[in-house]
Amino acid sequence: MSDQAGKIVADGYDRVADAYAALESPADPWPRMRRVNSFTANLPDGSRLLDLGCGDGVPATRELAVRHVVTAVDISPEQAARARHNVPRAEVVCADVRDLSFPEATFDAIVALYLVDNVPAGDYARLFGRLTTWLRPGGRLLLSAEPAEAEVGELHTWLGVPMLINGIPVHQLVDRLEAAGLEVVDVEHEEQREGGRPITFAWVTARRPD
C-alpha cells in the first residue's frame, strides 16, 4: 500500500531520526519500558514477538530481544537501518505495517508503541484484523495511542517536518479492536513529556481469544 500518507511518514521519520531520539529526557523517561516489561513479564523465554513501529530499536526492541525472538518493523529506512545496527539480534524489516503479511498465529505477542497515530484511521479495521490473525490464540497486544476528540488524519508540522497525525477517541479505538476479534483487557492513560511538552497516551492491552 504505497500511498502519499506512507511516503510522508517514512520521509518524516528519516529526517527527524536524531531529533526524535532526543525527545525523551533521561531524567524523565517515558513509561513505555515499564509497560513493555510488565506486558512481557510472564512470557516464556524464546517467545516470538512482533515490534511494530520500532524506530531505532532503542530501548524497546533491544530490551525485548534479550529474551525473545523479535521481528521489528519500521516504515522509515533510516530508522530501520539504525535498528539493525542497535539490535543485531532482531530481524528488522523496513515496511509499511499496512503491507505486512505473516502466517496466522505467528506471534505470541505484538507491541505497537506510538504507531497508530501515524496510520490513517480508515486503515484501522484492516490493520487490526491482521494483528488478530498474526497472534496465536491467547496471544496479546500492547498498543499506545494519543487520544483525540475526533478523527484528524491531517498534516501537521512535527519536529520541523510534515507528518500525518491521526487520532480517534479511545472508546472508538476499543470498538475497532474488538470488531477485529480482539478482547480488550485494559485501558490506562498516562502522561509523558516530549521535549518538555506533556502528552497523554492511552495504553491498551488486548488479547486474541483462545
pLDDT of amino acid 32:
97
Please report which helix (H) or strand (E) contains residue 50, including its range.
Answer: strand 48-52
Q: Tell me the three state secondary structure of residue 181.
A: coil
CB-CB contact of 184 with 194 (8 Å):
no
pLDDT of amino acid 60:
97
Is 93's pLDDT higher than 80? yes
Secondary structure letter of residue 123 according to DSSP: G
CB-CB contact of 70 with 90 (8 Å):
yes
pLDDT of amino acid 166:
85
Greater confidence (101 vs 121) lies with 101
Q: How confident is the model at residue 167 (pLDDT cuts 50, 70, 90)?
A: confident
pLDDT of amino acid 150:
59
Is 134's pLDDT higher than 60? yes
pLDDT of amino acid 144:
97
Average pLDDT score over residue span 60-74: 98
Q: Which residue has the cell 523465554?
A: 45
The angle, 0 to 180 degrees and rounded to 10, between the axes of the packed helices 170-179 and 124-134 is 50
Is 152's pLDDT higher than 80? no
Average pLDDT score over residue span 176-182: 98
CB-CB contact of 138 with 207 (8 Å):
yes
Greater confidence (165 vs 45) lies with 45
Q: How confident is the model at residue 180 (pLDDT cuts 50, 70, 90)?
A: very high
Query: What is the value of pTM for the model shown?
Result: 0.96
Tell me what the pLDDT averaged over the chain comes to.
95
Whole-angstrom distance, CA of residue 109 vs CA of residue 142? 8
Whole-angstrom distance, CA of residue 209 vs CA of residue 201? 25
Q: In which order are the strands placed within the sheet that holds 135-145?
A: 91-94, 69-74, 48-52, 107-112, 135-145, 197-207, 183-194
pLDDT of amino acid 168:
85
Domain of residue 189 covers: 4-207
Return the CATH number at 84. 3.40.50.150
Whole-angstrom distance, CA of residue 125 vs CA of residue 116? 12
Average pLDDT score over residue span 148-174: 85
Is 116's pLDDT higher than 90? yes
The count of domains in the chain is 1
